[in-house]
Amino acid sequence: MTMLDRMRRHKGWLKWSLALVCLAFVALYFPDFLSQQQDAGAAPSAAVAEVDGRKITVAEFTRAYYQRLDAYRASAGESFDPALLKQLGVDRQILSVLIDEQATLAEAERLGLTVSDAEVRERILRLPGLQQNGQFIGEERYRQLLSVQRPPLTPSEFEADVHKQLLAERLRSALTSWMTMPDEEVDREYQRRNEKAKLEVVSFAADTFTSEAAPSANEVAAYFEKNREKYRFGVKMKIRFLAIDMPTLGKAVTVSPQDAQQHYDDNIEQYSTPEQVRASHVLLETNEKDEAEVQKQAEGLLARIKEGADIAAIAKEYSDDPSSKDKGGDLGYFGRGAMVKEFEDVAFSLQPGQLSDLVKSQYGFHIIKVMDKKPAETRPFAEVQNQIVEQLKGQRAQARAKELSTQIAPEITQPSDLDTVARKHGLQVRESNFFEREEPIEGLGPAPEVSKAAFSLPQGQVSEALQAPQGYVFITVLDNQPARTPKLSEVEARVKEDLTQQRALDLARTEAKSLMASFKDDFARAAKSAGLSVETTDFTRGASVPTVGVNAEIDELAFSLPAGGVSDPIVTDTGASIVHVVERTEIKKEDLAAERETLRQELLEQQRGRFMTSYLTKVKERLDIRQNDAVLQQAIAS
């Protein structure tokens, strides 16, 4: 994790890679990222999941969900789109983390691990966010900070969360403290990350050979005969379904101006952007160094900047913050609560263009220059009213769809009931085309839950209410088609395209082989003669190569060929490439020695994290884990 990450997260003690969520603690450390309450939906005490009887409530899930949403908003700025989180399945990711947390606690208790009240108290007293000038902020201020969380937290609730975190850490320590990371592995990884090569690459693209690769009808038929199984159709199903369609229901939904205003007032944080600062800094770490010497060096750099030196140039040469060093110390825009307090107080007190004196934090000495400021802003209600109305309509249509699916479920016991119920409630019954398990369904689109049910439901039966992209459906199976090999006429276009692509790839690779000798003789002259452009790249292991992408063979050759060496043609997904190693930067032993212990700890943490992930997977197999998808959908409806 980078220095900037540590500054922004304020939780160096949270080391488990599973990112167990101590929710109240996160909210406390991110006071600008407080969660919003929902307008409607499941009760806060309802369970979105249970882990061996341990409830994960809507309140817990909502706090985690909106903390993540606000963190993304702060990071993305104006480009933030809340709908994207749902498309990316962030709700499922957060629920998975909460389930992992409960499974961890269950396993710790099974093994007899405990945490005392004194240990909880000691941890709280040492939390950076609860200290001022190296001292605990006091009981009154502590309670005040907890009370402004949304929803408010009591000290006992917060302390229970800290207790959970300590118990999770204790389990991790008990299971992984024996692990070690030998020098050979550390050195190998350092070399992998830091070895660099300057490459020149020419690519022979199959696309340029498409016209001459076009096959005849006889060649297409022969290719099909040789590769019949490649085009085999899987089992296909055809269904009839009663759809409870949210867009249709939404047409009858109304939202009054008063309702929209109430939502705006209750969720004003969603429409507000806090004050932000853009700053650049130079950090000199004091970790395991003579603090007086570091301070003296920092004072010297500050004097140079005051005399006119460019802070960006100073940062690139001297800063110990790897996340901003290469950007000239630029931290971008950030709000209050995103940095450690000492840094934040100074940054927000400066005006654009102003330079700070030395700022001491737990990481070392900072020199801060404020580049720009954005005042706090709240979008007026009139600007977002239409957006709110559409959002509330969607929520209410979703709630109505769920309510209606529950209402009509007892009325649907056989296929003929679909038509009866449709007429009664003004709904539609439709038929799909034949579809394979992973294919979209006509009239529904991609619907994994519906597809799964269709391939397991006996004919003559009706499913329960199933989640579909636009609402809920009840289905019955009409017919099925067994797996079969198609006739050429059914797949001829696909076969022709595949054969053309294969022949074009072969032609590109043949061309590369025919010119290989000339490239080994004079790379630049051969490229010019062949009319090929040369892409130059500063390459590190695992990096993407222009026009090629990530390629394991190039990755190997870049560091095995001598400087000046030229490769044989390398097969790529798009044709072939030839690589010229212009120069290579070797590892300096003194740099390796200086970084070895830091890297060892990073690799050790990764190793422990992988072990815990595997261990927890087995733990969850023993536990009774139940998710309530209906409650989850209601929880994120807003």
pLDDT in tens, 424-462: 999 999 999 999 998 999 989 888 899 999 999 998 999
Lowest mean pLDDT, pick from 16-25, 418-427, 469-478: 16-25
Amino acid, res. 528: K
Percent of the chain with pLDDT over 70: 89
| Distance, CA of 507 to CA of 209 (rounded, Å) | 7
Mean pLDDT of the chain: 86
pTM for the model: 0.55
Q: Which of 459, 460, 430 shows the shortest CA–CA distance to 447?
A: 430
The answer to whether residues 18 and 97 touch, using CB atoms and an 8 Å cutoff, is yes
List C-alpha distances in Å: 43 to 347, 593, 635. 41, 57, 9
The pLDDT of residue 72 is 72
Token pair, residue 481, equals 């088609």
Please give the average per-residue pLDDT across 218-242, as a whole number: 95
Q: Which of 503, 633, 634 shows the shortest CA–CA distance to 575?
A: 503
What is the 8-class DSSP label of residue 457? S
Amino acid, res. 430: R
Whether the link from the prior residue into 151 is cis, omega within 30° of 0, is yes
| Distance, CA of 142 to CA of 120 (rounded, Å) | 15
pLDDT digits (tens, 9 = 90+) for 196-225: 999 999 999 999 999 999 999 999 999 999
Amino acid, res. 391: Q
Q: Which of 54, 171, 160 shows the shortest CA–CA distance to 112?
A: 171
In the chain, the domains with their CATH numbers are: 3-180+606-635 (1.10.4030.10), 196-232+488-585 (no CATH), 236-264+381-481 (3.10.50), 275-375 (3.10.50.40)
Query: Any idea of the CA torsion for 513, 515, 517, 522, to the nearest 10 degrees?
Result: -140
| Distance, CA of 157 to CA of 163 (rounded, Å) | 10
The CB-side HSE value for 475 (13 A sphere, CA atoms) comes to 28
Q: Which of 495, 505, 429 shows the shortest CA–CA distance to 462?
A: 429
The pLDDT of residue 106 is 93
The answer to whether residues 159 and 540 touch, using CB atoms and an 8 Å cutoff, is no
The answer to whether residues 280 and 331 touch, using CB atoms and an 8 Å cutoff, is yes
The pLDDT of residue 15 is 30
| Distance, CA of 160 to CA of 268 (rounded, Å) | 29
What is the 8-class DSSP label of residue 39? S
Helix, strand and coil content of the chain, in percent to the nearest 5, comes to 55, 20, 30
User: At 408, is the pLDDT very low, low, confident or very high (cuts 50, 70, 90)?
Assistant: very high
Sign of the C-alpha dihedral, residues 286, 289, 291, 292? negative
| Distance, CA of 90 to CA of 37 (rounded, Å) | 18
Lowest mean pLDDT, pick from 11-15, 165-169, 176-180, 228-232: 11-15
Query: Any idea of the CA torsion for 459, 461, 467, 472, to the nearest 10 degrees?
Result: 120
Please give the average per-residue pLDDT across 389-410, as a whole number: 90
User: At 136, is the pLDDT very low, low, confident or very high (cuts 50, 70, 90)?
Assistant: confident
Instruction: State the greatest distance between any 2 C-alpha atoms of the chain, in Å, as a whole number.
Output: 87
Amino acid, res. 293: E
Q: Is residue 25 predicted with pLDDT exceeding 50?
A: no
Q: How many other CB atoms sit within 10 Å of the CB of residue 296?
A: 11
- Exposed, middle or buried: residue 128 (CB in 10 Å: 0-12, 13-18, 19+)? middle
The pLDDT of residue 150 is 55
In 180-228, at which residue ranges do the beta strands (DSSP E only) sit? 196-205
Instruction: Write the DSSP assignment of 564-633 as a string of letters.
Output: T-BPPPEEETTEEEEEEEEEEEPPPHHHHHHHHHHHHHHHHHHHHHHHHHHHHHHHHHHS-EEE-HHHHH
Instruction: Write the DSSP assignment of 364-406 as a string of letters.
Output: EEEEEEEEEEE--EE--HHHHHHHHHHHHHHHHHHHHHHHHHH
Of all helices (H) and strands (E), which one includes residue 188? helix 183-194
In 426-521, at which residue ranges do the beta strands (DSSP E only) sit? 428-431, 466-468, 471-481
Q: Is residue 235 predicted with pLDDT exceeding 50?
A: yes
Token pair, residue 149, equals 């969380």
CA-angle at 21, arms to 18 and 27, nearest 5°: 145
Sign of the C-alpha dihedral, residues 453, 454, 455, 456? positive
Please give the average per-residue pLDDT across 495-519, as a whole number: 96
List CB contacts of 131: < 8 A, sequence separation 6 or more: 137
